[in-house]
């Protein structure tokens, strides 16, 4: 809700301006190279982690993969799995997590040239809880002001009673994850603790639309820790709300990966625990 309000405000403001945006040529100096660690453990999928190095912001190449790391998963402080490098910095394990258990990873890199080396650890994160979807359906919506005509996908979902839950929603269209920063959807239960998006208590969740008959959508709602909730909000803000009159100042996006024994020295990225729930539908007439 807060994100929507912010975007609404930014949109209104931009509409009011005589502003113009001109592309310019600019070079940026290379900053400090940092390790990037992203991954998660969930209650229904095997643990994974992706490792790479940061590069110049204007580089047209992908971030270089880190392929020589030792990645170990810990549950409640005890090692439970060692992840194996599969391809291009992607590491996988077999372990599947449980609700309310605490998880973290350690990443150890040998000394190689001028690149950083040593051991980094993620902060322990407890796995939250998440209800499954009640239903998912598609419906035709006629044209109205600011509403385009067509088929829309809706879902009913009930939030678990008890405040302090944080969630992330993701969407696949025909099995392709919509994965740009503007697709980031995170929310907390501050406004809907224990309530239901069932078209009775609250309106149904508008998943997608308008779209064509035959298109398949999969929606996922996953519990996430407070830290990742803040991290993703910041990531979205720092990639989308940039440069304008009312935009926030640039800020470092720091996750939960720190050098072992030194909380001041951080790596980029986030490793988290998550309970994931999915529902799919193909739009029909």
Partner 1 sequence: MRQITLFLALFGFSAGLFAQSVTVSGTVTEASTGESLPAVVVYVLSDGKPFSASTNPYGFYSLSVPAGKPAEVKVQLIGYADFSQKLGSLTSARKVDISLKESATQLQEVDVVSERLNTNITTTQMSVSALSAKEIKKVPQLLGETDIIRTLTLLPGVSTVGEGASGFNVRGGNADQNLILLDEAPVYNSSHLFGFFSIFNADAVKDVKLFKGGMPANYGGRLSSVLDVRQKEGNSQKFSGTGGIGLLSSRLLLEGPILKDKVNFMVAGRRSYFDLFFPYFNSPELDNTTIYFYDLNLKLNAKLSEKDRVFVSAYFGRDQFGASELFDFGWGNWTSTFRWNRLISPKWFFNATAVYSDYTYQLGTPKDADPAFIWDSRIENYVTNLGWTWYPNAAHTVDFGVQNTAYTFHPGAISGVFSLELQKEYATEPALYISDDWRITDLLTATYGLRYSTFFNVGGRDIQTYLNAANPKANEATGIQTYAPGEIIKSFTGLQGLEPRLALNYKVGAATALKGSYNRSRQYLHLISNNTTATPVNVWRPAGTFIEPATVDQVALGIAHNLQEGGIRLTAEAYYKTFQDLVDYKDGADLIFTEYIETELLRGDGRAYGAEFLVEKKTGDVTGWIGYTLSRTERLVNGATRDTRINNGQWYPANYDKLHDLTVVANWSISKAWEAGGNFAFQSGRPITYPDSRGEFEGMYFPVYTNRNGARTPASHRLDLSFTYTPQSKRAKKWGESSLAFGAYNVYARRNPYSIFFRADFSQPTNVQAYRLSIFGSVIPYFTYNFSF
Q: Looking only at residues 42 through 81 of this chain, which bind partner 1 when binding is defined by CB under 8 A?
A: 50, 52, 54-63
Q: How many residues bind partner 1 (CB under 8 A)?
A: 83
CB of 133 to partner 1, least distance (A): 21
CB of 201 to partner 1, least distance (A): 10
Among residues 96 and 226, whose Cβ is nearest to partner 1?
226
Q: Tokens at residue 252, please? A: 């470092």
How large is the greatest C-alpha to C-alpha distance in the chain, in angstroms? 62
The residue from 72, 80, 115, 254 that contacts partner 1 (CB under 8 A) is: 254
What track of x and - describes contact with partner 1 for positions 177 through 216 (by CB under 8 A)?
Answer: x-xxxx-x-----xxx---------xx-------------
Say if CB 139 and CB 152 are below 8 A apart: yes
Burial of 16 (C-beta count, 10 Å sphere; 0-12/13-18/19+):
exposed
DSSP state of 26: -
> Within 145-184, which residues bind partner 1 (CB under 8 A)?
145-146, 177, 179-182, 184
Say if CB 253 and CB 230 are below 8 A apart: no
Q: Which among 100-108, 128-136, 209-217, 258-266 is the span making contact with partner 1, rule CB under 8 A?
A: 258-266
Among residues 110 and 190, whose Cβ is nearest to partner 1?
190
What is the spatial distance between Cα 79 and Cα 58, in angstroms, rounded to a whole number? Answer: 38
What track of x and - describes contact with partner 1 for positions 231 through 250 (by CB under 8 A)?
Answer: xxxxx-xxx--xxxxxxxxx
Say if CB 260 and CB 121 are below 8 A apart: yes
Among residues 21 and 284, whose Cβ is nearest to partner 1?
21
What is the spatial distance between Cα 17 and Cα 273, in angstroms, rounded to a whole number? Answer: 43
């Amino acid at each position: 809700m807060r994100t929507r309000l912010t975007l609404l405000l930014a949109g209104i403001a931009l509409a009011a301006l005589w502003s113009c945006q001109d592309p310019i040529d600019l070079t940026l100096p290379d900053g400090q190279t940092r390790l990037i660690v992203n991954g998660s453990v969930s209650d229904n999928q095997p643990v994974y982690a992706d490792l790479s190095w940061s590069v110049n912001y204007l580089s047209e190449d992908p971030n270089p993969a880190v392929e020589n790391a030792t990645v170990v998963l810990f549950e409640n402080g005890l090692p439970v799995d060692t992840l194996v490098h599969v391809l291009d910095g992607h590491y996988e394990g077999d372990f599947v997590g449980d609700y309310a258990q605490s998880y973290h990873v350690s990443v150890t890199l040998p000394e190689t040239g001028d690149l950083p080396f040593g051991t980094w650890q993620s902060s322990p994160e407890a796995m939250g809880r998440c209800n499954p979807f009640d239903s998912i359906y598609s419906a035709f919506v006629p044209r109205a002001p600011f509403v385009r005509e067509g088929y829309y996908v809706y879902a009913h979902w009930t939030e678990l009673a008890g405040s302090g839950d944080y969630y992330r929603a993701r969407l696949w269209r025909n099995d392709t994850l919509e994965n740009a920063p503007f697709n980031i959807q995170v929310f907390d239960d501050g406004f809907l603790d224990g309530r239901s998006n069932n078209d009775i208590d609250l309106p149904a969740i508008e998943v997608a639309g308008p779209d064509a008959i035959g298109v398949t959508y999969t929606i996922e709602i996953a519990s996430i820790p407070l830290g990742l909730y803040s991290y993703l909000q910041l990531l979205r803000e720092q990639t989308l709300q940039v440069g304008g009159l009312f935009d926030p100042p640039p800020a470092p996006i720091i996750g939960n990966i720190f050098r072992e024994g030194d909380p001041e020295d951080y790596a980029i990225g986030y490793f988290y625990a998550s309970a994931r729930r999915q529902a799919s539908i193909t739009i029909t007439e």
